[in-house]
Structures are given as structure tokens and as C-alpha cells.
Amino acid sequence: VNEATAGLARHLRTPLFLAVVWLVEEGVLRGLRIDGVRPELLLAAAVVAGLVGGAERGAIVGFAAGLAADLFLPTPLGLSALVFCLTGYATGALETTIGSSTGDTRAPAAAITVGAASAVGVGVSAVVGTLVGLPGVFTPHLVTVVAVVSLVNAAVSTPLVKLARWTLSPNDHQSEPALSASPGRR
């Protein structure tokens, strides 16, 4: 019974991880704009999931995070799910390939990875958004959006990584572990 309860608790951690980030973004930070730009913590959650849990977990969490974001956006439903899913997967795949070989597990490295991956995610959002018909996406303001989103996401990466390590523990998944598998990252 104890094992079953523990297993259930483990499986509830991932939705809990997303729920915490979602509530912070949609509830607490919903009115916050930095130079007219809205922080995208759910994108950071997808990136961190890839970083900590590997490519598959990054894709799954990214899809769920994007879908949650889409519910409150005027853009087409599924757009963020598509972009976050790809970003989470790519981060996990790159982390497995590059991160494991370098063994660099310090917080600054994670912040740089989260910031860079978030910048790429915003860029991919702009491209996909334009493809589905959003007008005027590629304006000078896009540079500000990329800069603000990547800096904010890099700044929140440390608590997000800690939260993700707790929710996406190695026992909770079978795909290739990335950040969490390296001893130096604990």
C-alpha cells in the first residue's frame, strides 16, 4: 500500500510542478509587463523539464505547459503547445548530448541554458505564428521580447530547477536522464 501511495504521489508531482508555475504566471504575474513584454514562465518550465528530465519529459511537460498557456492567449490554441514541446525536447536532447560530456552543473550554466533556450523558443513562436497568419510579428519589438523573456527565465531558473528536480526525479521516468543524473548537479 505504501509503495502504491508513493507511486501515486510521484505521478502527481509533475502536474503539481506545472500547476505551481501556471498559477504564478497566470495569477501572480498576469499583470506584470517589463517594457511591454509579458514574462513566459511556462516556457521556462518546459526548458527546465528538458534540462532535468531529458528530451521525452521535456516534450511532454512542454506540451502540457503550452496548452495551459494557450487557454489564456488570443493566439491560436495549440501554438504554444507546439513550440514549448519542441523547445523542451530540444533542450533535453542537447543537454544529454552536450551537458553530460562537459559535466558543467552549476547554476550559472543552467541559467545560460534556460535563457538561450527561451530565446530560441520565442524565435520559433514568431516563425510559427507568422506561418499561421499572425500579422506584424517581426517588428523591432520582437528583439525586446526575446531579451526580456530570456533574461527573466534565466533569472528564475534556479528555483525552477530545484522544483523540477523534486518533481521529475529519476524514479519518475525511464527516458534518458539529463541534469538530474549527474552527481555534481545535486
Q: Does 123 bind another protein (CB under 8 A)?
A: no
- Cβ(84)–Cβ(128) below 8 Å: no
Q: Does 55 bind another protein (CB under 8 A)?
A: yes
Q: Does 141 bind another protein (CB under 8 A)?
A: yes
Q: Does 95 bind another protein (CB under 8 A)?
A: no
- Cβ(104)–Cβ(78) below 8 Å: no
Torsion angles phi and psi, residue 34, rounded to 5: -110, 110
The binder of another protein chosen from 136, 183, 184, 186 (CB under 8 A): 136
Q: Does 129 bind another protein (CB under 8 A)?
A: yes
- Cβ(161)–Cβ(52) below 8 Å: yes
- Cβ(49)–Cβ(173) below 8 Å: no
Fill in the DSSP letter of residue 178.
Answer: -
Query: CA-CA distance, 24 to 41, in Å (whole number)?
Result: 8
Site map 2..41 versus another protein, x via CB under 8 A: ---------------------x--xxxxxxxxx-xxx-x-
Q: Does 99 bind another protein (CB under 8 A)?
A: no
The binder of another protein chosen from 100, 105, 169, 175 (CB under 8 A): 175
Query: CA-CA distance, 118 to 98, in Å (whole number)?
Result: 18
Query: CA-CA distance, 39 to 148, in Å (whole number)?
Result: 7
Count of H-run helices and E-run strands, the chain: 8, 0
- Supply the minimum distance, in Å, between the C-beta of residue 111 and another protein: 21
The binder of another protein chosen from 41, 48, 79, 164 (CB under 8 A): 79
Q: Does 112 bind another protein (CB under 8 A)?
A: no
The residues that touch another protein, with contacts defined as CB under 8 A, are 23, 26-34, 36-38, 40, 54-56, 59-60, 62-63, 66-67, 70-79, 81-82, 85-86, 89, 92-93, 122, 125-126, 129, 132-137, 139, 141, 145, 149, 174-176
